[in-house]
């Protein structure tokens, strides 16, 4: 892994302004559009070396625990809510004569893929972590693939629904990945991106108090590499050829979009709930949600 200098994924400018250094990684902001990212950035490969390193990442170790029936039930309910929104955005229900074609990018050990398969969907998961993929295959017996999405031979124009939940902040090349996913979408397919909100009220308060970046999307580099606001995420998605249908913010306890693990963590922080609710009411919620398709409609 040799870190490489990158231009801004949101606007393309090569105008990076450093704002803090953590563990040797430089965090800064694009002077042109405000995107927060690490530069130079590491490009990881699907290897055991990455698995061993990722175990030390925040929010990763729990994925090595057994996937319980409760977790699968949570994922199933979330997917049903998601696919109802997919149907609304498409303007019609998904075809009943064939299974929903679903791709989970950054699937970890595959809980969402397992739940989707249980619903009868044609589901595939992809992740860089070979240990997580092996554990998920052994436990769930579903289609999990250990490879970079950019190197995959997944069928173009195939997927009705592609999901990146807590993934885009990990990517060194979100623009390129989103461009690849656009190719994989069916003509009326829908992509969902869920990520921490750089414009969230807690993040703004932390930056006001510290005056420098010590976290990227609420995590330390190289676990997290990009941190988006609604504006910079929409810019990146549009550059990738995606038409943003809607963006909004929500709280870390919103079971429609966040993981069961994060819901449990949020439930253990009752003092923060009023801050999260106020942030959401102001459009500055801690979590950012974006839905997009292959059209060029403006953001809602």
60 assigned to some structural domain: yes
Q: Stretch 147-154: mean pLDDT, rounded?
A: 96
Full-model pTM = 0.94
Cα separation, 276 vs 294, in Å, equals: 32
In a domain, 262, yes or no: yes
pLDDT tens digits, 70-109: 999 999 999 999 999 999 998 877 776 789 999 999 999 9
How many distinct structural domains can be found in the chain?
Answer: 1
Domain-located, residue 298: no
SS3 214: coil
Report the C-alpha gap between 139 and 196 in whole angstroms: 29
The string of pLDDT tens digits covering residues 50-66 is 898 888 776 677 888 89
Please provide the average confidence, as pLDDT, over all residues in the chain.
93
Question: Is the per-residue pLDDT at 299 higher than 60?
Answer: no
Structural domain including 81 reads 45-293
- Please give the average per-residue pLDDT across 270-286, as a whole number: 90
Would you say residue 298 has pLDDT above 70? no
Share of the chain above pLDDT 90, in %: 78
Q: How far is CA 7 from the centre of its chain?
A: 20
Average pLDDT on 216-241 reads 96
With 50 as the cut, is the pLDDT of residue 207 above it? yes
Residues whose CB is less than 8 angstroms from the CB of residue 106 and which lie 6 or more positions away in sequence, other chains included: 126, 127, 164, 165, 166, 167, 170
CATH value at residue 193:
3.40.50.150
| 68 is a domain residue | yes
Q: 55 lies in a domain?
A: yes
């Amino acid at each position: 892994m040799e870190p490489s200098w990158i231009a801004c994924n949101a606007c393309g400018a090569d105008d990076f302004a450093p704002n803090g250094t953590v563990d040797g990684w430089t965090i800064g902001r694009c002077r042109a559009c405000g995107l927060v990212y690490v530069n130079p950035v590491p490009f990881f490969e699907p290897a055991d070396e990455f698995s061993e390193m990722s175990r030390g990442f925040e929010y990763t170790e729990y994925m090595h625990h057994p996937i319980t029936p409760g977790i699968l039930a949570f994922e199933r309910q979330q997917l049903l809510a998601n696919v109802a929104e997919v149907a609304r955005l498409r303007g019609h229900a998904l075809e009943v004569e064939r299974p929903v074609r679903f791709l989970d990018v950054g699937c970890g050990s595959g809980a969402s893929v397992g739940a989707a398969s249980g619903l009868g969907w044609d589901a595939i998961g992809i992740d860089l972590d070979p240990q997580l993929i092996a554990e998920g295959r052994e436990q769930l017996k579903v289609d999990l693939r250990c490879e970079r999405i950019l190197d995959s031979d997944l069928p173009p124009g195939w997927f009705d629904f592609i999901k990146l939940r807590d993934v885009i902040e990990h990517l060194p090349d979100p623009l390129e990945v989103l461009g690849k996913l656009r190719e994989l979408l069916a003509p009326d397919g829908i992509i969902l991106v869920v990520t921490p909100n750089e414009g969230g009220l807690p993040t703004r308060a932390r930056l006001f108090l510290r005056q420098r970046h010590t976290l990227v999307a609420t995590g330390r580099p190289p676990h997290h590499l990009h941190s988006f606001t609604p504006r910079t995420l929409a810019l990146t998605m549009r550059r990738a050829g995606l038409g943003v249908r809607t963006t909004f913010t929500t709280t870390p306890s919103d079971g429609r979009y966040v993981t069961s693990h994060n819901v449990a963590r949020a439930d253990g922080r009752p003092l923060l709930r009023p801050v999260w609710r106020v942030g959401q009411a102001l459009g500055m919620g801690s979590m950012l949600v974006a839905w997009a398709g292959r059209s060029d409609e403006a953001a809602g």
